[in-house]
Amino acid sequence: MIASRSVGPSRTTLTGHSGRDVPRLQIQRRQAVLVKSFSILEDQVDLARGAWAASHRLGVHWRGKRILSLSQGPFRPYLYPVFTPAGFAVTSESPADHPHHNSIWVALDRVRCRFPYSSDETEEGTYNFYVNETFQGRAPGRILTTAVESEELAPDHLRMRLNLQWRGPEEWAAARGRVLINETRTLDVRPGKGVNLIDVRSRLEAGRWGLHLGPTRHGFFGVRLIEALSVTHGGQLVDSEGREGGREISREEAGWVDGSGTLGRGIRAGVSLFPHPSTAGYPWYVTDWGTLTLNPMAKLFWSLGPGDGIEFGIRVAVHDGDVREARIGELYRAFREEIEGESR
């Protein structure tokens, strides 16, 4: 497991506050936060009087070029849009078949909470933080951003830290929903030539009550590709062991998985996932229609006492070219050397 590093004294805090239906990611004085090579801009949409936005976004720019946006929707935060170094968007925000597949996201179904009702007895509530509606009897909760901090660590390295609350639905005796989990999500963004790297580390801490996380097939790190990168539309899905297609790769272990395809005018692009040590060794679930998922809670549950925490991480490589042209194998070997160096 990779431990979270502390953010140094030079930082910018972007606070979120509750709006009508979704917290707004807001920069004070509605201006850009300028650093040496990176800038963070709040998306401005001129809405009619009385209208409101279903989601809010902070655009992350490197040397004047947008590479991704941090979005907060009604049910969860996610990264969208996400661009290759050449400027092509490669993920889908909310496809019609699975509207809860939000580009690059973190979510989990089957969160069970133990509520004490006497000195030595508890009752269990079960929640869904994956689907946007009640699913198999489990009411949907919301993952809400309460603050975002950013710091430029190098000319090509931006770190963003999100404070998040996993809130249950409105219910009797909890009008705003119970805060079941406090999450710290750290994003390390490293743009480069031919590939943009995004490390996502999610630390979950139980709130006032003990929790069981999983087991469920719906979680934890997810990516939804645009149709052009899916196998069903002529794309390629391959893993580090040379397997191809969702049927061959799913439920197997692999060092990496990559989905790529051809955009307009013969341009190729794709997305690779590299597990951090905390998520290595778990089976993948991927589909020919464009979903890449790695889920440590697929076959077992994790038990957390009040205040206990657990952390998982993954690297996302957003690349131009196909898996061979992007040299994904070499990128993965460099990733392993970096991780091993950190652990020494």
Task: Return the H-helix or E-strand segment holding 57.
Answer: strand 56-62
pLDDT in tens, 72-129: 999 999 999 999 999 999 999 999 999 999 999 999 999 999 888 877 888 899 999 9
Which CATH architecture best describes the domain 26-343? Distorted Sandwich (2.70)
- Model confidence at 33, pLDDT cuts 50, 70, 90, reads low
Write down the mean pLDDT value for the chain. Answer: 88
pLDDT in tens, 54-77: 568 999 999 999 999 999 999 999
Q: How far apart are CA 222 and CA 225, in angstroms?
A: 10
Q: How far apart are CA 248 and CA 286, in angstroms?
A: 9
Q: How far apart are CA 71 and CA 44, in angstroms?
A: 13
pLDDT at 213 over 80: yes
Across 13-32, average pLDDT: 47
pLDDT at 9 over 50: no
Residue ranges per structural domain of the chain? 26-343
Q: What is the pLDDT of residue 116?
A: 83
CA distances from 326 to 29, 271, 320 (A): 40, 10, 7
Q: Which of 46, 290, 302, 69 is nearest to 196 (CA)?
A: 69
Q: What is the pLDDT of residue 22?
A: 65
Give 111's strand partners.
127, 213
pLDDT in tens, 251-261: 999 999 999 99
Are 141 and 177 contacting, i.e. CB atoms less than 8 angstroms apart? Answer: yes
For the chain, percent of residues with pLDDT exceeding 70: 86
Task: Return the H-helix or E-strand segment holding 3.
Answer: none
Q: What is the pLDDT of residue 17?
A: 42
Got the DSSP string for 148-203? EEEEEEETTEEEEEEEEEEEPPPBTTBTT--EEEEEEEEEEEE--SSEEEEEEEEE
